[in-house]
Amino acid sequence: MNKVEHLFRRLNLGSTIALLILVTIWLIPTVGLLVTSLRPSSVAELSPWWEGLFNPLSTVWTLDAYQTSLQSGMLESLINTIAVTVPATILPLMIAANAAYAFTFLNFKGKEIFFATLVALMVIPLQSSLIPVLKGMVWFQKTFNIPLTGTYASAWVVHSAFAMPLAIYILRNYMMTLPTALIEAAKIDGASNYQIFWRLVLPMSIPVIASFAIFQFLWVWNDYLIAFIFVGEQKAVMTYQLLRLLGQYGQGWRDVAAGSFISLIVPLIVFFSLQRYFTRGLLAGSVKG
């Protein structure tokens, strides 16, 4: 009996089984969506998706829904989404990293007040600020004759602004865990704040930067509201294109299933590429606050 208990503890079977159950529960809707997108509409409308999963050899499989999705503008919306998401992920990280360094290693008047204000800004819901931000952009456009609304740049600005408080907070907490002796030694050797930031702090902060990049990328990629309001229908992102595929009466639900899987490709690539930094970045920043 003791050997069995020791084996359970060594293999962590309890945790493994619990994780397998959770993963299975989360995968059921995704698998159902995949099976639905690969079945002909005449079959999918008459029988549940699990029949095709349990009887794969007797089921007719087709890629018609994927072909229809791509021909209906899904590829163009994929390019539009990338054009919105990549800059909206890089910009807040660049600015937040510099701000987090200042809040961590520099001393200036009102530092704690400014940081507390940033933390307080995290509780402001995005929806309550859309109208003032949109009016401000319209005023800027009329005053300086610079087109802003209806462009990618407007989405970059809004996404970056609302991501900034959380990004600064997370990066600052992580930078507080870095060895201060190394920073002080660099200052004694005559290194400037610019050199310390780029050559020491930034390379050591790669895990937390990658972790936040995953969150920001997925949030912007799956966003509908900001892209629809500030970019518009002419440069429709994938979330809006999926709504178009659905149709007025919901007749394109199979096309939506196929389009959903097309939209999953890039986020999966990003997540699996940066996953080795994910846990390290989240845990390291939680030691100090």
Same domain, 141 and 31: no
Q: What is the pLDDT of residue 261?
A: 85
Residue 154 neighbours by CB under 8 Å, 6+ apart? 137, 148, 230, 231
Task: Give buried/exposed letters for 111-135 (b at 16+ CB in 10 A, else e).
Answer: eeeebeebeeeeeeeeeeeeeebee
Q: What is the pLDDT of residue 287?
A: 46
Q: What is the pLDDT of residue 281?
A: 55
Same domain, 95 and 146: yes
Q: What is the pLDDT of residue 95?
A: 93
Closest CA to 201 of 95, 96, 101: 101
CA angle in degrees (0–180, nearest 5) for 123-126-131:
130
Position 50 in a domain: yes
Reported as half-sphere exposure (CB side, CA atoms, 13 A), residue 117 has a value of 6
d(CA 263, CA 55): 27
Position 289 in a domain: no
Q: What is the pLDDT of residue 49?
A: 82
d(CA 165, CA 132): 19
Same domain, 7 and 102: no
Position 39 in a domain: yes
Same domain, 49 and 83: no
d(CA 12, CA 201): 37
Among 62, 84, 102, give the residue marking a domain's end: 62
Same domain, 25 and 139: no
Position 114 in a domain: yes
Same domain, 47 and 85: no
Provide the residue-wise pLDDT of the chain in tens; the chain has 289 residues: 455 555 556 557 677 888 888 888 988 888 888 888 888 887 777 778 888 788 877 778 888 888 888 888 888 899 999 999 999 999 999 999 999 999 988 888 888 898 888 888 888 888 888 888 888 888 888 888 888 888 898 999 999 999 999 999 989 988 888 888 888 888 888 888 888 888 889 888 888 898 888 889 999 999 888 888 888 888 888 888 888 888 777 777 888 888 888 888 888 888 888 777 666 655 554 444 4
| Segments forming the whole domain that contains residue 38 | 1-62
Same domain, 55 and 110: no
115 contacts 104 by C-beta, under 8 angstroms: no
CATH number, domain at 206?
1.10.3720.10
Q: How many domains does the chain have?
A: 2
Global pTM value: 0.81
Same domain, 75 and 85: yes
